[in-house]
Structure 1
């Protein structure tokens, strides 16, 4: 259910897109010493940013639903948000730009930014998780959270991307771990479970995770976000990622990318 490879490949993407595996783990996808070199510059370029359970340089696209002004602001600044990441990494290559190129090269239908009203969406948002921050078990399915996005209706699978720029020191095996369950929206294990307010599911109502991954600096993890997933809290330090989503509509259609 978990693939580990030393590089991204067409076969690995196909197994993710067709639901044969839950996640792909590529250790040191981006050299750890280069991550250390760029992460402070990326943080400096964030400015005030946005705060949820994590801090970010941009709102998640799904948070713009139902607010026309917020959505207009997101679309108007998306190109600049991505350009700022590029500037922060210069003269080194942005890990997100590398990933975009490889997805385009490896997928039969290519890959492109998801667009709305002819405007590109951000791909590669910064997420800063401080000590104690966690993500409860949840699903990310764009066709459910943003049904007005036409392309999302054709997605047969949705993947999440994380490139890890900084990880706190590990005191326990589960600390800061990414957890995945092989349950989807319509599975009995999820239907009717007590929700955590309006976000996610109570961990105590679920069995043990199918997979637990403790990433290191430089690692790339691509997971199926249509399956239940969570992030364990860390006691101290920061967990910083460049993150986004991939919409899959079949091998002959381009992968759609956004954050």
Structure 2
């Protein structure tokens, strides 16, 4: 189980500008569900006033105390087994994905870690009925600052850890899915296919010797029936002559159409 981690309180006037896409997306998930934009503005100011104590990041939640009185929490839904399997598969595609995460960068391929709109459940001990309230919004902003600097904390908030991801990627490479294992043999199969001799072509069909018959189709309005049947007869005759090497190409001078 991933252990909780504690972070010291941010000092006064610690207003920061997010510069990562995942930190901004975290805040967007909170701001887009706020009933009153004024609450988020007050929360942003409170985040910079040094009134929030140390922050604890543990599996599924972030928690802190506001002014030593109100306890605030942000609950995050853990990754399901299917979502975790997809994350491991995406991270295993390129070794650079894990390296980037270790270097404090979250690749787009691992965006499933970032909560979306409605996936942050805020709670506070104050009397404000809003969700989030001013205090919980302030904690969201400060948590975004932590994520901005260390995106691997998203794994903790999702109930996992960087160590688990590293181990899962190693196991994925050691035991690839059957479809991937079969794909590794594809080059040999392709070479074998190209090495096979080309089979002989089938015998051509016998040349048509019967009388030429055209389908009696009603022409659309405005089309000359005689011209349409004549063009069709010419095309069919040319095709027949081309397929019959024993006969020189002939084009009939006239064909009586069926009207």
- For normalisation by structure 2, the TM-score amounts to 0.22
Q: Normalized per residue, which structure has more strand?
A: 1
Q: Which structure exhibits the higher relative contact order, with contacts defined as CA atoms closer than 8 Å and separated by 6 or more residues?
A: 1
Select the structure that is richer in helix: 2
